[in-house]
Amino acid sequence: MASKKIKKPAVNNKKITDLAANTEDGTGQFLTTNHGVKINDNQNSLKSGERGSSLLEDFILREKITHFDHERIPERIVHARGSAAHGFFQLYQPQGQYTKAKFLNDISVQTPVFVRFSTVAGSKGSTDLARDVRGFAVKFYTEEGNYDLVGNNIPVFFIQDAIKFPDLIHAVKPEPHNEMPQAGSAHDSFWDFVSIMPESMHMIMWAMSDRALPRSLRMMEGFGIHTFRLVNEQGKSVFVKFHWKPLLGVHSVAWDEAQKISGKNSDFHKQDLWEAIENGAFPEWELGLQIVAEKDEHKFDFDLLDPTKLIPEELVPVQIIGKMTLNRNPDNFFAEAEQVAFHPGHIVPGIDFSNDPLLQGRLFSYTDTQLSRLGSSNFHEIPINRPITPVHNNQRDGHMRQTINRGTVANDPNTIAQGCPFQAKAMEGGFTSFNERIDARKVRARSASFHDHFSQATLFYNSQSEAEKSHIVSALRFELGKVERETIRIRVLGLLSQVDKDLAQKVAAGIGVDVPKKPEQPMNMSFGADVDPKRVQSKNVKQAIEKSAALSMANTIKNSIKSRQVAILVADGVNETAVTQMKNALVAGKAVVKVIAPKLGLIKGINGGVVKADQTFLTAASVLFDAVYVPGGAKSIAALLEEQDPVHFVNEAYKHCKAIAIDDEAIELLNATYIARSVAGASEKEMAKSGVIVNASHKIFIKAIAQHRFWDREKKDKVPA
């Protein structure tokens, strides 16, 4: 797809922080105070005698402690927990027919990007594996200024109007009286809110699906959610939805696994992203556009301005226009990932907003929040936030101002500075808003075209594979099972029954209440206090299609084991030749292999060689891996059986539907697991079909790992947690 004519990149992914020239590295340097005085003793404070009290004059101690006392800044109200990386975006084809944005027109430029992924509800120190939406925020440092695409990994949102956002977030955050639960939506206040906000049902389907449990940040899609506008050189506009498609496909973990990962390694996603980049397995996404001509604005069964709706790809295909590669970890987490300030209002000429009422509210919120989080209106001067283009204006002063503006004037117009800095005409690159015609009354109201709350929730459910559907049922049973007030559970069932009757019945069967015959429609608060609820009840609008392939993760790429984690379980007496051969085959496919043994150090093989153990059964766990291999060696197997942890390791990998390879000689270990019971009587070929590979070739194991999971196993077998 990429053009062969690509010239030498214009920017070539220079370090943004270096461009801002504020980096520091103490290598080979003396320790100093913040004011540059060399420090002679950093171990002892100044005292009146060796056993005496500390002296107030110790400016070194005071400076150090004072700085420490002020090290924290408020965490983000939402999206507090994040992981970030640098990279670049490169265009495949110029998009001049739609937009004049330069970075979307020049295929020779590598536009630097900084991307921050996040969970939404949890605090900064919470787990990566919470059931939650993931933030996917991209800052493009373009030659026309910074453009931020601040999206999520789910293409729709819970609410239609920004005025409901504080309520939504208050409902999902820990309850105010006891600050529980952390990073979880399975509690009364969240589901109470949902139960009377039918507009949230489409998003609820996504949030209860495995999309909310990504296997890796590198295996998530990203979406701009709102409809935006692109504007071309002639001032003509089209509507656009933005998509990021990961080249590794979209994959998730199981809920039981997610909960266990949270205990074993709450930095699972952060570490996975970091290590992939350090190992050169650079995460990649293609950028796609869904373009809708202005004349087609009203041709759909939903409103393009309604952020609880997506445009099915069957109706408007996604045009792939370029690729983003993340190739460098931050040098300093706080300076970069924590201080980065995204804003959907950071746009460049050629991109503009739509009237989506959720987007419109966001346009206010993001600068406002930086004022309390970063503490100054000069947050744009922090290196990670600076554009690569120079900034010239008459804004002055404020807390922690970095720029030393020269000259005698700070006003426009002026003659003293010959009118500088000048305004730029549109043809000179000056930003002009799309010339939209507006003729309306001032009202507090919601358009009738926003009143359909269920049909796309149904479309999503219908588009899922059987395994994905059953995971949604389990997730809803889990979440509602934690809701103490029965009335809330009943109301949610009423809403679910409007999405899919069978789904509601299945959930009801697990939570001890019946699906109500008549859902409580009038509880819907969305339409405003003075509106007769009977007149504006949610109404289902039949969608043009019944299923959409793009909505199911089951349909995404499954042909690579790149960066997949594979565990090899060994003990003294292992067949080390088999280990080496398997390791080589997996590493050739770019998987990451870890040898796990009862102890660290060198493990003796039967052929006179050794294998180095990377982890022990104490530090490793099956939930941290994608697949497991048990090589032969009778002594090794006997030792693993004695340990028992390896048996649990394999059982758990089986429960979570992962690929498992066992050598013939290791069959006794297989016999000690639940697998033996469930595959009893099956031929090796049949077992391989469900991802349990006995004595098979490396090729078959590699193919099985690429499959990601064998979810069908869940139907046949219940393995204890």
Site of interaction with ligand HDE (CB under 6 A): 76-79, 82, 116, 118, 135, 137, 150-152, 157, 162, 165, 225, 340-342, 358, 361-362, 365-366, 369
The two three-digit tokens of residue 721, written as one number? 């947690």
Phi and psi of 19, rounded to 5°? -55, -35
Contact 249, 557 (CB under 8 A): yes
Three-state secondary structure string covering 341-391: CCCCCCCCCCEEECCCHHHHHHHHHHHHHHHHHCCCCCHHHCHHHCCCCCC
Taking the C-alpha atoms of residue 402 and residue 705, their distance in angstroms, rounded to an integer, is 52
**CB-nearer residue toward ligand HDE: 371 or 549:** 371
Q: Smallest distance from the beta carbon of 206 to ligand HDE, in angstroms?
A: 12
Burial string for 678-715 (b: 16+ CB within 10 Å, else e) reads bbeeeeeeebbebbbbbebebeebbbbbbbbbbbebbe
Taking the C-alpha atoms of residue 55 and residue 10, their distance in angstroms, rounded to an integer, is 56
- Looking up tokens 């419109």, which residue turns up? 360
**CB-nearer residue toward ligand HDE: 345 or 481:** 345
Phi and psi of 162, rounded to 5°? -55, -25
The two three-digit tokens of residue 361, written as one number? 């509210």
The two three-digit tokens of residue 533, written as one number? 């609820």
Q: Smallest distance from the beta carbon of 178 to ligand HDE, in angstroms?
A: 24
**CB-nearer residue toward ligand HDE: 146 or 565:** 146
Task: Report DSSP state, residue 707.
Answer: T
22 is catalytic: no
Residue 699 CA from chain centroid, whole number? 32
**CB-nearer residue toward ligand HDE: 79 or 215:** 79
**CB-nearer residue toward ligand HDE: 277 or 659:** 277
**CB-nearer residue toward ligand HDE: 114 or 617:** 114
- Of 130, 86, 497, which is closest to residue 325 (Cα–Cα)? 86
**CB-nearer residue toward ligand HDE: 332 or 671:** 332
Torsion region of 407: left, alpha or beta (phi above 0 gives left; psi -120 to 50 gives alpha):
left
Map residue 286 onto helix, strand or coil: strand
Given the residues 79, 202, 343, 698, the one annotated as active site: 79
Torsion region of 250: left, alpha or beta (phi above 0 gives left; psi -120 to 50 gives alpha):
beta
**CB-nearer residue toward ligand HDE: 308 or 563:** 308
Q: Smallest distance from the beta carbon of 656 to ligand HDE, in angstroms?
A: 28
Given the residues 105, 146, 152, 265, the one annotated as active site: 152
**CB-nearer residue toward ligand HDE: 341 or 554:** 341
**CB-nearer residue toward ligand HDE: 341 or 662:** 341
Output the CA angle 450-456-460, nearest 5 degrees: 155
Contact 494, 454 (CB under 8 A): no
Taking the C-alpha atoms of residue 129 and residue 108, their distance in angstroms, rounded to an integer, is 38
Q: Smallest distance from the beta carbon of 706 to ligand HDE, in angstroms?
A: 30
- Looking up tokens 């090796």, which residue turns up? 684
Residue facing ligand HDE at closest CB distance = 135
Map residue 15 onto helix, strand or coil: coil
Taking the C-alpha atoms of residue 487 and residue 513, their distance in angstroms, rounded to an integer, is 9
Contact 103, 111 (CB under 8 A): yes
Phi and psi of 660, rounded to 5°? -130, 130
Q: Smallest distance from the beta carbon of 157 to ligand HDE, in angstroms?
A: 4
- DSSP E strands: which ranges in 477-583? 565-569
Q: Smallest distance from the beta carbon of 278 to ligand HDE, in angstroms?
A: 22
Burial class (CB in 10 A: 0-12, 13-18, 19+), 301: middle
Map residue 715 onto helix, strand or coil: helix
Q: Smallest distance from the beta carbon of 344 to ligand HDE, in angstroms?
A: 7
Residue 109 CA from chain centroid, whole number? 26
Give, rounded to a whole angstrom, the gap between the first and last alpha carbons of the chain.
46
**CB-nearer residue toward ligand HDE: 157 or 710:** 157
Phi and psi of 180, rounded to 5°? -135, 155
Q: Smallest distance from the beta carbon of 165 to ligand HDE, in angstroms?
A: 4
Q: Smallest distance from the beta carbon of 78 to ligand HDE, in angstroms?
A: 5
42 is catalytic: no
- Compute CA distances 511 → 132, 196, 400, 490, whole Å: 22, 19, 55, 10
What amino acid positions are annotated as catalytic residues?
Answer: 79, 152
